[in-house]
Amino acid sequence: MLAKKIESYVKIFPGVSHGWSVRCDDNNEFAVKTAEEGKRTYRIGF
């Protein structure tokens, strides 16, 4: 039996709430910045 190698990546975004990457407050600079970074990270991973 061959062992399968599983690669993973975890990135933690402190200070954000559940759903932050799709339901952020457009008037909150921090929320917009982290949501954009999260979306970039997600696209790279998939």
pLDDT digits (tens, 9 = 90+) for 2-46: 677 767 778 888 988 888 888 888 999 999 999 999 888 876 655
Question: Which two tokens mark 20?
Answer: 């932050």
Q: Would you call 11 exposed, middle or buried from its count of C-beta atoms within 10 A (0-12, 13-18, 19+)?
A: exposed
State residue 33's pLDDT score: 92
Q: Are 38 and 13 in contact (CB under 8 A)?
A: yes
State residue 19's pLDDT score: 83
Could you say which DSSP state residue 23 is in? S
State residue 8's pLDDT score: 77
